[in-house]
């Protein structure tokens, strides 16, 4: 099945520190209260908060969080995406998971760990850039700090949508807003991004500013503050129109990423 239009719901939520069950319950309530979307996007580390995981809150791909995502995705008949601290054979990952209604799970392990906060001491970095397909859309997932690295996010003609989840704090929100628009403009792609709100267990505040930008960097959903869901349609026709009217990507420099 393919569709030229996707309705995407941004789930801009506070997160309870080290409380996976409470976070799942809250996020489920928010999604159920905003029915009808094709894709629901949750924040980064939505079960625990950023670096809020402990030995007790660790789980793998067969744990409660993935079971919950599969069941809810099927019930809502929509995909659900976000990242969580998940254990793998090589260690714990900040893992972006994308769960489709048919039970299919795509994943991407965060490449750029935020050493400024010690994330590189807690997790194993991913090594592979991933693009997956959903309803005919080519989607490239990114997690928070990744968007500071334009080479990693570079559209090689292989994606339509850059999908970003984050725990991006208030002191650097201007960078968040600017980088998202820049990634949309330079890659001539849709950018959908969700950040959390509230305070974490260390007292750090988060502003939200989730947003959707079209391939020219125009806001379809402008950054906003406060907890809640907002949704909008994005379409492939808009993407094609931009590429035809402004064929800038044809003149991009060629390079190989090692």
Catalytic choice (9, 144, 153, 229): 144
With H, G, I as helix, E, B as strand and everything else as coil, classify residue 141.
strand
Instruction: Please tell me the predicted confidence (pLDDT) of residue 118.
Output: 96
Q: Running DSSP on this structure, what letter comes out for residue 14? A: B
Instruction: Please tell me the predicted confidence (pLDDT) of residue 250.
Output: 87
Report if residue 37 sits inside a domain. yes
Report if residue 258 sits inside a domain. no
Can you read off the two tokens belonging to residue 139?
């989607």
Report if residue 138 sits inside a domain. yes
Catalytic choice (9, 44, 140, 229): 44
Summarised one tens digit per residue, pLDDT across range 198-226 is 999 999 999 999 999 999 999 999 999 99
Comparing CA positions, the residue from 88, 83, 93 lying closest to residue 124 is: 93
State the residue range of the domain holding 47: 5-251
Maximum Cα interatomic distance, the chain, rounded to a whole number of Å: 53
- 202 tagged catalytic: no
Give the span between the Cα atoms of 38 and 221, in whole angstroms. Answer: 16
Report if residue 64 sits inside a domain. yes
- 144 tagged catalytic: yes
Report if residue 256 sits inside a domain. no
257 pLDDT above the threshold of 70: no
Give the span between the Cα atoms of 197 and 175, in whole angstroms. Answer: 16
| Number of separate domains in the chain | 1
With H, G, I as helix, E, B as strand and everything else as coil, classify residue 123.
coil
Residue where the block lists tokens 């628009």: 181
Report if residue 257 sits inside a domain. no
User: Considering the entire predicted model, what is its pTM?
Assistant: 0.97
Report if residue 195 sits inside a domain. yes
Can you read off the two tokens belonging to residue 173?
């929100």
Instruction: Please tell me the predicted confidence (pLDDT) of residue 83.
Output: 98
- 62 tagged catalytic: no
CA terminus-to-terminus distance, the chain = 34
Instruction: Please tell me the predicted confidence (pLDDT) of residue 247.
Output: 93
57 pLDDT above the threshold of 90: no
Chain mean pLDDT for the chain = 96
Catalytic choice (9, 59, 110, 140): 110
Distances from the Cα of 124 to the Cαs of 111, 121, 224, in angstroms? 9, 8, 32
1 pLDDT above the threshold of 80: no
Summarised one tens digit per residue, pLDDT across range 124-183 is 999 999 999 999 999 999 999 999 999 999 999 999 999 999 999 999 999 999 999 999
What CATH number does the domain containing 112 carry? 3.60.110.10
């Amino acid at each position: 099945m393919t569709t030229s239009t996707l309705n995407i719901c941004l789930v801009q939520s506070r997160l309870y520190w080290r409380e996976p069950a409470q976070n799942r319950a809250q996020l489920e309530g928010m999604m159920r209260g905003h029915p009808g979307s094709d894709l629901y996007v949750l924040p980064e580390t939505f079960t625990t908060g950023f670096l809020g995981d402990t030995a007790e809150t660790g789980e793998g791909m067969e744990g409660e969080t993935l079971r919950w995502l599969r069941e809810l995705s099927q019930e809502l008949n929509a995909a659900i995406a976000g990242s969580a601290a998940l254990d793998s054979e090589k260690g714990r990952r900040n893992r972006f998971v994308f769960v489709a209604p048919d039970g299919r799970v795509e994943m991407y392990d965060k490449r750029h760990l935020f050493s400024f906060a010690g994330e590189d001491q807690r997790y194993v970095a991913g090594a592979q850039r991933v693009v997956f397909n959903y309803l005919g859309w080519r989607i490239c997932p990114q997690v928070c700090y990744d968007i500071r690295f334009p080479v990693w996010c570079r559209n090689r003609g292989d994606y339509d949508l850059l999908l970003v989840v984050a725990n991006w704090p208030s002191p650097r929100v201007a960078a968040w807003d600017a980088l998202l628009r820049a990634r949309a403009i330079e890659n001539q792609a849709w950018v959908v991004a969700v950040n959390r709100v509230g305070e974490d267990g260390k007292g750090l505040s988060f502003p939200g500013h989730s947003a959707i930008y079209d391939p020219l960097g125009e806001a379809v959903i402008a950054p906003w503050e406060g907890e809640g869901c907002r949704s909008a349609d994005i379409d492939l026709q808009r993407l094609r129109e931009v590429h035809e009217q402004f064929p800038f990507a044809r003149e991009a420099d060629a390079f190989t990423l090692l």
